[in-house]
Amino acid sequence: MSWQLQEAKNRLSEVVRAAQTQGAQIISVHGKDTAVLLSLADYRQLQVQREPLGTFLMRTAPRDLGIDPDELFKRSDDIGRDIDL
């Protein structure tokens, strides 16, 4: 749901309750979406999902992803296309 800033300030308890039961609540200022209010559970879930790509790559072997390591760096035998000069 979307709330104007003044309305969100006046009805903060309701906005917080809505974030807990309905999900993210968008707050707008002068008609422009400006902020989002999340429940603590939703916020923590977003934080847990953040893993740097380098960390993921270092802990994941190609075989774990169903990739054949011998095929991973194999060069294509395709010689390209014929062109007239």
Q: Closest Cα partner for 41 from 20, 14, 60? A: 20
pLDDT the model gives residue 8: 98
Domain 2-64: which CATH class? alpha beta
- Distances 9 to 14, 27, 33, 39 between C-alpha atoms, Å: 10, 10, 15, 17
**Residue 3 main-chain phi, psi, to 5 deg:** -130, 140
pLDDT along the chain (85 residues), means of 10: 97 98 97 97 86 82 78 80 84
pLDDT the model gives residue 17: 98
Q: Where are the domains of the chain?
A: 2-64
Q: How far apart, in whole angstroms, are the C-alpha atoms of residue 31 and residue 49?
A: 31
